[in-house]
Amino acid sequence: MSTITPRDLERSGLPRETPVTTPRTSDSQEIENQFLALMVAQIQNQDPTKPVDTSEFIQQFAAMSQVKSLENMSKLTQSNLILLDNLQTLTAASLVGQHVKVAVDSIQVEGEVIQGSVELEHAANDVVITLTDSNGQTVEVKLGAGEAGQLDFTLDPEALGLAPGEYQIEVKTGAGETPPVEITGLVTGVRVTPDGTLLEVKGAGRVPLHKITEFSQGSMGALFQPSAAAFIPSSATGLPA
């Protein structure tokens, strides 16, 4: 393939530099314009006795088209992500003032009663909640026996002698099952961070939107409907009352 010089571009009638419009085109568009300018110049100045293989031009132009398509797909994907993020924020904002259930591995004790539930795969004779504070001290709350399915409970910080703060929460059964814990709480606010949208939920603290397992537009009583008697523990071991 012959070498293109500025003089060749002059004779071809093409500008020495790729025209730049306002607003400035994207990098891929600029490269495409340069490629087309060079291709035209090469065709006009090729050696008639050794013409350039047209299939080579076709391959180069196809590659350029793929680059352009990939750039368009990238822009479309970015726009969709921004749209989804905005929709997520609007959804989270609409939850303020409502009660939700969220999956948690820790709770925020602020003096108010905390309601929650666990889902037992099998019936158990001994279900125990273990609360661990920041100093490593633990409080065990015995819920007793539970049938397979949802087992609801209520934690009263005053009765348990729990000081305000964050506690890790874990549920174990006598059979060794460790079911996930869900807390029912009021959404009091929404915080938008670089890592995503966080909900301020009473009793659960800040939780991401995907941790919500149940929504409700009614009161807490409408959402929290125990299948058995709610447990306000009469005995606990660990922290002094």
Predicted confidence at residue 21, as pLDDT, reads 45
Under 8 Å between Cβ of 231 and 151: no
Which residues sit opposite 182 in a β-bridge? 103, 117
pTM: 0.56
Domain boundaries, the chain: 6-94, 99-237
How far apart (Å, rounded) are the C-alpha atoms in residues 93 and 83?
Answer: 15
Predicted confidence at residue 72, as pLDDT, reads 81
Tokens of 26: 């994207």
Q: Which long-range contacts (C-beta less than 8 Å, at least 24 apart) are formed by 8-15?
A: 8/41, 8/44, 8/45, 9/37, 9/41, 11/44, 11/45, 12/40, 12/41, 12/44, 12/45, 14/40, 14/41
Predicted confidence at residue 133, as pLDDT, reads 92
Tell me: cis bond preceding 23? Omega within 30 of 0 counts: yes
Under 8 Å between Cβ of 92 and 210: no
Token pair 């709350």: residue: 141
> pLDDT of the chain along its 241 residues, tens only?
445 555 554 555 545 554 444 444 556 667 667 777 777 777 777 777 777 666 776 777 777 778 778 888 888 888 877 777 777 777 778 888 889 999 999 999 998 999 999 999 989 889 999 999 999 999 999 988 888 999 999 999 999 999 999 999 999 998 888 999 999 999 988 888 887 788 899 999 998 888 888 877 553 444 444 333 334 444 444 544 4
* The CATH number of the domain covering residues in 99-237: 2.60.40.4070
